[in-house]
C-alpha cells in the first residue's frame, strides 16, 4: 500500500511539473551553471600551447592521470583553468573533518552549530587555496619539462612568470568552481560539488563509448570483451541502485496515548539505517587522497632527471602507484573502507539519536532507553557498515582492475565513476520529486483555504 501511494504521489507530482515555476527556475539555473563549467574546461592556461599539449598527453595516455582527467571533465587533458577541478577542496575537507574529530578546539567548533560550521568551512577554503598553490606549482614546473625527450615544448615562454601565472589561474579556477557549486546548492537542484563531478564524468561518456565500440569494430578489442563490459555495466548499475536503497529498519515503539475516541493506542514507527550511510563520499575521498601525491609526483617527475636519487624515486613511485597496480588497488580499497566507517560516524551519532528517542518517549523493544539504546544502535550500525564497505570496495575496485588488465582507457566505465553518476542522479531526482510534492501540497492548501472562505 505504501509503495502504491508513493508511486501515485510521484506521478501526480510530475503531472504538475509545468505549474512548478520555482522548480523550473532551479533546474534552468543548474543547467546554466553546468554549461559555464563545461565552457571553462576548454579555456587553456595562459602560455600553454594546446595543440602540442594534446599530442604529448596522447603519448602518456592510460596512466593514473586519466582518472583525474575524467573527474575534471577533460580539463586536465586540455590543461584548462579548472584543470584541478574540485579535488583540492575535497582533500582539504577530509583534513578538516579528521582534525575536527581529533583536535579539542576544532571539536568544540563543530558543536557550535551554524557558526562553527561556517568557521570550519572557512578553514577548508584556506586549505583548498594552499593545496591548489602546491599542486599548481608542480604542474607548471612539470609542463615546462613536458615533452623534452620528444623535442616538443608545451609551454611557450617558460620561467617564473609562467609558473606564477599558472598557479594564480589554477587557484582562481578551483575557487570559482567552489563558488559555482555553492550557487547550485543554494539556487539550483542537488549538491553543487557532486553535480560538477558528475558533469565532468558524463561529459567524457560519448568519447569513451565511441572508443569502445570503435575498438570492437576494428578488431582492436575482442567482441567478447565489449559484450562482457556492457553486461558488467548493466549489472553494476542495477546492483548499485539496489544497495543504495537497501536499509535496516529498526522498530521504534512509543507509549500508549489516548485517542479521540478515548481508547488507549500505542504508536510505532521505524528508524531506517541505510546499508551505505556514507554514500559516494568514501570512493571520492580515497581517490582524492591518492590523486593529490600522484599528480604532484607525475608532473614533478617530468622536471627531474632520472639519474638523480629523487628522480629515480619519483619514477619508481609512479610505477608502483599506477592505475591497476597492486599497491594502488590496496591503498584505494583501504581508503574506501576507512572512510566508510569514518564518514558514517560523522553523519550518524548513536548517542544523539538515543537521546532524541528518550526525550520523545520512544524506545526499541527489548532495549532500555539511554546508553543501552546508543550501544545497540552503534552495534547495528557497525555491522551494516561492514556490508556497505564490502559493497563499495567491490563496486569500485573490481571494475578498475578489469579495465587495468584489459588496457582499455575507459575510466568512465569504472566502478567509481558509475557509483558517482548513479548516486548523484538518484539524489537529484529525489530532490526534484520533493520540490514537486511540496508544490502540490501547497496548491492543495491554497484550494482548501479558498473553499473555507467561500463557505
| Res 3 pLDDT > 60 | no
What average pLDDT score do residues 279-300 get? 74
Number of other CB atoms surrounding residue 43 within 10 Å: 14
7 lies in some domain? no
Residue 384 covered by a domain: yes
Q: What is the pLDDT of residues 243-266, one digit of tens each?
A: 888 888 888 887 766 555 555 555
4 in any annotated domain: no
CATH number of 69's domain: 1.10.3370.10
Q: Whole domain around residue 406: which residue ranges?
A: 12-454
The structural domain count of the chain equals 1
Q: Residues 143, 178, 163, CA angle at the centre, nearest 5°?
A: 20
Q: Across 279-293, 331-345, 350-364, which has the greatest mean pLDDT? A: 331-345
Q: What is the mean pLDDT of residues 213-218?
A: 76
Residue 5 belongs to some domain of the structure: no
Backbone angles phi, psi at 267, to 5 degrees: -95, 150
Q: At what angle do helices 415-454 and 371-406 cross, to 10 degrees?
A: 130
Q: Mark out the alpha helices in 146-280 (DSSP H runs).
A: 160-187, 192-203, 205-218, 223-245
Q: Would 1 be classed as within a structural domain?
A: no
Give the three-class secondary structure for 250. strand
In a domain, 182, yes or no: yes
29 versus 53: the higher-pLDDT residue is: 29
Residue matched to cell numbers 558517482:
420
Model pLDDT, residue 10: 45
Instruction: Render pLDDT for 406-445 as a digit per residue (tens, 0 to 9).
Output: 666 555 556 677 888 888 888 888 888 887 777 676 666 6
CA dist 177 and 173 (Å) reads: 6
| pTM exceeds 0.85 | no
Helices and strands (H, E) in the chain, number of each type? 18, 2
Mean pLDDT of the chain: 78
Q: Can you give the pLDDT at residue 30?
A: 92
- Mean pLDDT is lowest, of 2-6, 174-178, 201-205, 296-300, for 2-6
Amino acid at each position: 500500500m505504501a509503495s502504491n501511494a508513493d508511486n501515485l504521489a510521484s506521478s501526480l507530482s510530475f503531472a504538475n511539473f509545468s505549474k512548478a515555476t520555482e522548480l523550473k527556475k532551479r533546474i534552468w539555473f543548474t543547467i546554466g551553471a553546468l554549461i559555464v563549467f563545461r565552457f571553462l574546461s576548454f579555456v587553456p592556461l595562459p602560455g600553454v600551447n594546446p595543440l602540442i599539449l594534446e599530442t604529448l598527453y596522447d603519448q602518456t595516455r592510460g596512466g593514473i592521470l586519466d582518472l583525474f582527467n575524467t573527474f575534471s571533465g577533460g580539463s586536465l587533458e586540455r590543461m584548462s583553468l579548472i584543470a584541478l577541478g574540485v579535488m583540492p577542496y575535497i582533500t582539504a575537507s577530509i583534513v578538516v573533518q579528521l582534525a575536527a574529530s581529533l583536535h579539542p578546539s576544532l571539536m568544540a567548533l563543530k558543536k557550535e552549530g551554524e557558526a562553527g560550521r561556517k568557521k570550519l568551512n572557512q578553514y577548508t577554503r584556506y586549505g583548498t587555496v594552499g593545496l591548489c598553490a602546491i599542486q599548481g606549482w608542480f604542474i607548471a614546473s612539470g609542463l615546462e619539462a613536458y615533452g623534452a625527450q620528444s623535442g616538443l615544448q608545451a609551454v611557450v615562454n617558460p620561467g617564473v612568470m609562467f609558473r606564477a601565472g599558472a598557479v594564480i589561474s589554477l587557484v582562481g579556477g578551483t575557487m570559482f568552481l567552489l563558488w559555482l557549486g555553492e550557487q547550485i546548492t543554494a539556487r539550483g537542484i542537488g549538491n553543487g560539488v557532486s553535480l560538477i563531478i558528475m558533469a565532468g564524468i558524463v561529459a567524457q561518456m560519448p568519447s569513451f563509448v565511441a572508443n569502445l565500440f570503435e575498438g570492437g569494430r576494428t578488431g582492436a578489442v575482442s567482441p567478447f570483451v565489449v559484450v562482457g563490459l556492457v553486461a558488467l555495466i548493466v549489472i553494476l548499475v542495477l546492483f548499485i541502485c539496489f544497495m543504495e536503497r537497501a536499509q535496516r529498519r529498526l522498530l521504534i515503539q512509543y507509549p500508549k496515548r489516548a485517542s479521540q475516541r478515548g481508547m488507549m493506542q500505542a504508536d510505532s514507527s521505524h528508524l531506517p539505517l541505510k546499508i551505505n550511510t556514507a554514500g559516494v563520499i568514501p570512493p571520492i575521498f580515497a581517490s582524492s587522497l591518492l590523486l593529490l601525491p600522484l599528480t604532484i609526483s607525475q608532473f614533478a617527475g617530468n622536471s627531474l632527471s632520472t639519474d638523480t636519487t629523487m628522480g629515480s624515486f619519483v619514477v619508481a613511485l609512479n610505477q608502483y602507484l599506477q592505475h591497476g597496480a597492486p599497491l594502488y588497488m590496496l591503498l584505494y580499497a583501504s581508503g574506501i573502507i576507512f572512510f566508510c566507517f569514518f564518514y558514517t560516524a560523522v553523519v550518524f551519532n548513536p548517542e544523539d539519536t538515543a537521546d532524541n528517542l528518550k526525550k520523545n518517549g520512544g524506545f526499541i523493544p527489548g532495549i532500555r532507553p539511554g546508553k543501552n539504546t546508543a550501544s545497540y544502535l552503534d552495534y547495528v550500525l557497525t555491522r551494516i557498515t561492514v556490508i556497505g564497505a564490502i559493497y563499495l570496495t567491490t563496486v569500485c575496485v573490481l571494475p578498475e582492475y578489469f579495465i587495468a588488465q584489459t588496457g582499455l582507457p575507459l575510466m568512465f566505465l569504472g566502478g567509481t565513476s558509475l557509483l558517482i553518476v548513479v548516486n548523484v542522479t538518484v539524489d537529484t531526482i529525489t530532490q526534484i520529486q520533493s520540490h514537486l510534492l511540496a508544490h502540490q501540497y501547497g496548491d492543495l492548501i491554497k484550494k482548501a483555504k479558498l473553499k473555507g472562505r467561500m463557505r
